[in-house]
């Protein structure tokens, strides 16, 4: 039970450290950004140095705020999300559950059902005495969940594309990054296994010509900030004392210097290390867009990024969804509701496991901790 009186006292004591004023950093960043814009040779200088930080490539004027025409109906949007129940030794089983939720919303598309909701559970059992025991880690479960999200998106996209007229815009919207950062920390064989699967799924989406995008709310990326760091250091990184002058600034703050409501940045190419493993037509690109309530990061594959009409179509549908959802895409919010595994659902899952163990005359040993959580005696 939470002691609310003590909590209030501690929050009051920590107030000054919880809510710091970083306006000085924002001022430094804005001034540096303006110097970058005023220097037509900056892009050439940055390509001639080696930097320890991740910086993007671009080909257009950095300060462009491109208006997004978000009144784009008719269109159809598919959103997919997933959640999981990790293996729990206290429940006496090594299996785990992944639930994939997906939603299709059709706007003024008369040949298509307006709203479709569905969720699909997937149960994975792992033998304790095999190599596969490593597949129980939360990190690997997360990788498997992302695989199923992409796979479900591909399957549903194929169905939707087959039912839609060719001229009806359609977007598969993915919650999260299309740059698979999480694989960099995995062992080599697992990284190769999942990366090859992800890329295969993205390639199949390309073959179907399905517009797809990763939506990142409250992004913490610092690729644009790294340009500012380099400018502050005058292109001399070693021993630079200005490195930490903008530590609390992120790309979304930089984009806010010049983006207006319902406008987007130019498209940048990501130079993330793992991006080198992607084939050329799937290399990751990104742009920032002001959806009214916040500035979000949208990630797209190269085959979309290199076509201005496709980029504009993606941006229009994303902003339209965010407007309908009062700041967050309604399709993503609804897919999350379909995917989320709440407390009663989790308990139902464990009860079914116990029932199955009993029917098969298997002994499912619960830990005393788990038993006590279900009923505490005094």
For the stretch 266-320, pLDDT in tens is 999 999 999 999 999 999 999 999 999 999 999 999 999 999 999 999 999 999 9
Q: Give this prediction's pTM.
A: 0.89
Residue 84: CB partners within 8 Å, gap ≥ 6?
96, 97, 98, 99, 141, 142, 145, 341
DSSP alpha helices (H): ranges in 86-187?
138-163
Residue 125 has what DSSP assignment? -
Crossing angle (nearest 10°) for helices 223-232 and 23-38:
80
CATH class for the domain made up of 66-339: alpha beta
Q: Distance (Å, rounded) from C-alpha 353 to C-alpha 360? A: 11
> pLDDT (tens digit, 9 = 90+) per residue, 323-334?
999 999 999 999
Tokens linked to 126: 């792992």
Bond before 216 cis per omega within 30 degrees: no
Length of the chain: 378
pLDDT tens profile 80-99: 999 988 886 555 567 888 99
Judge contact between 370 and 346, C-beta under 8 A: no
Backbone angles phi, psi at 137, to 5 degrees: -65, 145
DSSP 8-class letter at 350: H
The DSSP letter of residue 266 is: -
Model confidence over 220-266: pLDDT tens digits?
A: 999 999 999 999 999 988 878 888 899 999 999 999 999 999 999 99
Q: Where are the alpha helices (DSSP H) in the chain?
A: 4-18, 23-38, 42-46, 138-163, 188-207, 223-232, 251-256, 302-305, 308-324, 330-339, 343-359, 368-374
115-163 pLDDT per residue, tens: 999 999 998 875 543 335 455 688 889 999 999 999 999 999 999 999 9
- pLDDT of res. 128: 42
Q: b/e string for 41-69 if b means 16 or more Cβ within 10 A?
A: ebeeebeeeeeeeebbebeeebeebbebe
For β-strands 295-301 and 284-290, DSSP reports them as antiparallel
Tokens standing for residue 312: 């504009």
What proportion of the chain, given as a percentage, has pLDDT over 70? 90
Note whether 53 and 273 are within 8 A (CB): no
Contact by Cβ (8 Å): 287, 264: yes
How far is the C-alpha of 349 from the C-alpha of 363, rounded, in Å? 17
Q: Quick check: helix, strand or coil at residue 56?
A: coil
Helix 330-339 × helix 308-324 angle, to 10°: 70
Task: Tell me what the mean pLDDT of segment 194-219 comes to.
Answer: 97
Domain map (residue ranges) of the chain: 66-339
Residue written as token pair 């479960």? 141
- Burial class (CB within 10 angstroms; exposed 0-12, middle 13-18, buried 19+) of 157: buried
Helices and strands (H and E) in the chain: how many: 12, 10
What's the mean per-residue pLDDT of the chain?
88
| DSSP state letter for 282 | G
3 state DSSP class of 187:
coil
Question: CA-based angle 32:289:178, to the nearest 5?
Answer: 100
DSSP character string of 226-245: HHHHHHHTTT--TT-TTTTT
The alpha carbon of residue 274 and the mean position of all alpha carbons in its chain are separated, in whole angstroms, by 16
- Cβ atoms of 197 and 274 within 8 Å: the answer is no
**Residues 6 or more apart in contact with residue 192 via CB below 8 angstroms:** none
| 55 has a pLDDT exceeding 50 | yes
């Amino acid at each position: 039970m939470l002691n609310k009186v003590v909590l209030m006292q501690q929050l009051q004591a920590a107030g000054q450290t919880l809510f710091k004023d970083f306006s000085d950093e924002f001022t430094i960043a804005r001034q540096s950004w303006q110097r970058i814009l005023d220097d037509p040779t900056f892009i050439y200088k940055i390509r001639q140095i080696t930097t320890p930080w991740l910086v993007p490539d671009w080909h257009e004027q950095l300060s462009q705020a491109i208006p997004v025409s978000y009144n784009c109906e008719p269109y159809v949007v598919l959103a997919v999300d997933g959640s999981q129940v990790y293996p729990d030794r206290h429940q006496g089983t090594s299996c785990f559950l992944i639930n994939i939720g997906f939603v299709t919303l059709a706007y003024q598309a008369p040949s298509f059902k307006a709203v479709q909701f569905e969720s699909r559970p997937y149960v994975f059992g792992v033998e304790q005495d095999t190599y596969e025991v490593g597949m129980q880690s939360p990190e690997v479960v997360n990788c498997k969940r992302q695989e199923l999200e992409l796979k479900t998106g591909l399957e549903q996209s194929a169905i939707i594309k087959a039912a839609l007229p060719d001229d009806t815009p359609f977007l598969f919207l993915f919650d999260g990054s299309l740059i698979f950062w999480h694989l960099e920390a995995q062992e080599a064989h697992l990284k190769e296994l999942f990366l090859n699967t992800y890329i295969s799924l993205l390639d199949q989406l390309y073959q179907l010509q399905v517009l797809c995008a990763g939506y990142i709310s409250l992004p913490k990326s610092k690729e644009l900030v790294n340009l500012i760091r380099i400018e502050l250091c005058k292109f001399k990184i070693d021993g630079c004392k200005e490195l930490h002058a903008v530590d609390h600034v992120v790309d979304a703050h930089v984009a806010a210097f010049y983006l207006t409501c319902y406008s987007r940045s130019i498209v940048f190419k990501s130079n993330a290390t793992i991006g080198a493993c992607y084939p050329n037509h799937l290399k990751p690109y990104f742009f920032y867009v002001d959806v009214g309530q916040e500035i979000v990061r949208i990630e797209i594959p190269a085959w979309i990024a290199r076509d201005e009409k496709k980029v504009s179509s993606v941006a229009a549908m994303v902003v339209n969804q965010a407007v309908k959802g009062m700041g967050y895409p309604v399709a993503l919010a609804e897919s999350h509701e379909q995917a989320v595994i709440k407390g009663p659902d989790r308990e139902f899952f464990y009860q079914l496991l116990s029932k199955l163990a009993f029917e098969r005359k298997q002994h499912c040993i619960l830990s005393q901790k788990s038993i006590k959580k279900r009923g505490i005696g005094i």
